[in-house]
Amino acid sequence: MSMSNAVVRTTELKQLDFEQIKKKQRTKSFLKGMMFLLPSIVLFSIFLFYPLLRTIYLSFFLTDAKGVTTVFVGFDNFINMFSSPIFIQSIQSTFLFVLYTVPVTIIISLFLAVIANEKLKGIGFFRTIYSSTMGISVAAASVFWLYLFHPTIGMLNVILGTLGFENIGWLTDPTWALIAVSVTTIWMNIGFTFLILLGGLQSIDTYLYESADIDGAGYFYKLRRITIPMLSPTLFFVVTVTIINAFQTFGQIDILTQGGPQNTTNLIVYSIYREAFVNYQFGSASAQAVVLFIIILLMTLLQFKFGERKVHYQ
C-alpha cells in the first residue's frame, strides 16, 4: 500500500516537474526567438507597418499641403476615386501595361536564356550582353529611349521615314504611348529576368538530359518535358516579381510621358505621385495607394493559388 502510494506520488511529481520544465523551456525559446526577430520586427514596424496604417488613416481625410489632416470625409475619397473617369482609366492603363510587358519580357528572356545556356565558345560574351540592361538605371534608359522616340529627329522615326512610312508620334499619340513605354520597360527588364532564368537553367541536373538522350528524346521534347518543368519554380518567382514591378512602374513614366497623352500612360503609381506631390491631396493619394495595395495583394494570392499548382519543386 505504502509502496504503491509512493510510486504514484513520484510519478505525479515527475509529471508536474516535467510540465513545469516544458513550460519554462517554451517561454525561454519564445523569448529567444523574439530576440532574433526583434531587429526585423522593429525595422518592419517603422518602415512598413506604421506607414501602411498611416496611409489607411490618411485615406479617410482631406489634408492641407503639409499633409496635416483637416476634414474627416469617411469613404468619400474612395467614392470620388471610383466615380472619376481619370482613375478608372488609370486602372485600365495599369492592367494593359502589365499585360503588354509581363508575358513579352518573360518569353524573350526565356528564349535568350535557353540559347545562352548552350555550351559554346565565347558564350560568356553573349551572356554579358543579354544581361547588360540590368546595369542601366531606369533614368538613363528612359532618357536614351526618349531620344529614340523623338518625333522628328528620333532614330525610330528616321528609320520609318526611310522605309517610306508615316512618322509615328510615339509618346504623343494616345494609341502608341503606352506601347512605347512598354517597349522601354521590356527592354529594361530583360537583363534581370534573363539572369535569373539562366541561373535556374544552370541548376538543372545534367543527368536528366543524359538519360533523355539515351532514350532518344529530341531537342524540343527535352525542352518541353525537362527544361520547363524543372525551371517552373524560377519562372514562378520571375512572373510574380515582374508583375509586382509592372504595377509599381514609375521612373520611365515620369521621364517619358508624365502620364500623358490624355492620361493614357497615367499608371497608378504615377497617379498617386501626382495626387500627393503636385496636387497636394494626400488623402485621395493615400486612398489610391490602398487600392493599389489591395490589387497587388489579390494578384499575388491568385497566383499562389492557381500558379503554384503547376510549379514542380524537386
Partner 1 sequence: MKKLLALLMLGLVLFIAACSSEGEASEDDSSAEANGSSEETSESSEADGEKQTVTFWHSMGGAGQEALEAIVDSYNQSQGAVQVNAEYQGTYDEALTKFNAVAGTDSAPTMIQTFEIGTMSMINSGNIVPIQEFVDADGYDMSGLEENIVSYYSLDDTFYSMPFNSSTPVMYYNKDAFEAAGLDPEAPPETFEEVEEASTKIVESNPDMKGFALQAYGWLYEQLLANQGALLLNNNNGRTDTSTEIGWTEEEGKSIFTWVENMVNDGTFANYGTNGDNMMAGFLAGDVSMFLQSSASSRDVIDNAPFEVGIGFLPHPEEKERAGVVIGGASLWMIDGKPEAEEQAAWDFMKYLQTPEVQAEWHVGTGYFAINPAAYEEQTVKDAYEEMPQLQVTVDQLQATKPSYATQGGLMDMIPEGRKIMETALETVYNGGDLDEAYNTAVDQFNGAIEQANAARGE
Sign of CA dihedral 282, 298, 93, 160: positive
Residue span 102-121 as binding mask against partner 1, x where in contact by CB under 8 A, dash where not: --------------------
Q: Which is nearer to partner 1, 69 or 303 (CB)?
A: 69
Exactly one of 96, 169, 212, 241 binds partner 1 (CB under 8 A); which one? 169
Residue 288 interacts with partner 1 (CB under 8 A): yes or no: no
Q: Which is nearer to partner 1, 191 or 259 (CB)?
A: 259
Exactly one of 4, 5, 152, 206 binds partner 1 (CB under 8 A); which one? 152
User: DSSP 3-state assignment of 142?
Assistant: helix
| CB proximity list for 268: less than 8 A, separation 6 or greater | 90, 91, 94, 247, 288, 291, 292, 295
Footprint (CB under 8 A) of partner 1, residues 51-90: 62-67, 70-71, 85-86
Residue 173 interacts with partner 1 (CB under 8 A): yes or no: yes
Residue 277 interacts with partner 1 (CB under 8 A): yes or no: yes
Return d(Cα 250, Cα 97) in angstroms, integer: 12
Residue among 262, 258, 268 nearest 296 (CA): 268
Q: Which residue has the cell 532514350?
A: 215
Footprint (CB under 8 A) of partner 1, residues 192-231: none
- Give min distance, CB of 73 to partner 1, in A: 8
Q: Total residues at the site for partner 1 (CB under 8 A)?
A: 33
Footprint (CB under 8 A) of partner 1, residues 234-273: 257-263
Q: Which is nearer to partner 1, 31 or 65 (CB)?
A: 65
Exactly one of 196, 230, 267, 283 binds partner 1 (CB under 8 A); which one? 283
Return d(Cα 33, Cα 31) in angstroms, integer: 5
Exactly one of 153, 163, 207, 305 binds partner 1 (CB under 8 A); which one? 153
Q: And the C-alpha cell for 95? A: 492592367
Return d(Cα 194, Cα 129) in angstroms, integer: 11
- Give min distance, CB of 258 to partner 1, in A: 6
User: DSSP 3-state assignment of 1?
Assistant: coil
C-alpha of 51 from chain center: 20
The 10 Å CB-count burial string (b at 16+, else e) for 162-190 is eeeeeebbbbebeebbbbbbbbbbbbbbb
Among 2-10, 132-140, 194-202, 277-285, the segment contacting partner 1 (CB under 8 A): 277-285
Residue 151 interacts with partner 1 (CB under 8 A): yes or no: yes
Query: What phi, psi does 70 have (nearest 5°)?
Result: -115, -50
Q: Which is nearer to partner 1, 172 or 303 (CB)?
A: 172
C-alpha of 179 from chain center: 20
Question: For the chain, how far is it from start to end, CA to CA, in angstroms?
Answer: 61
- Give min distance, CB of 301 to partner 1, in A: 34
Among 193-201, 217-225, 279-287, 293-301, the segment contacting partner 1 (CB under 8 A): 279-287
Residue 184 interacts with partner 1 (CB under 8 A): yes or no: no
Residues engaged in binding partner 1 (CB under 8 A):
62-67, 70-71, 85-86, 150-153, 169, 171-174, 257-263, 274, 277-281, 283
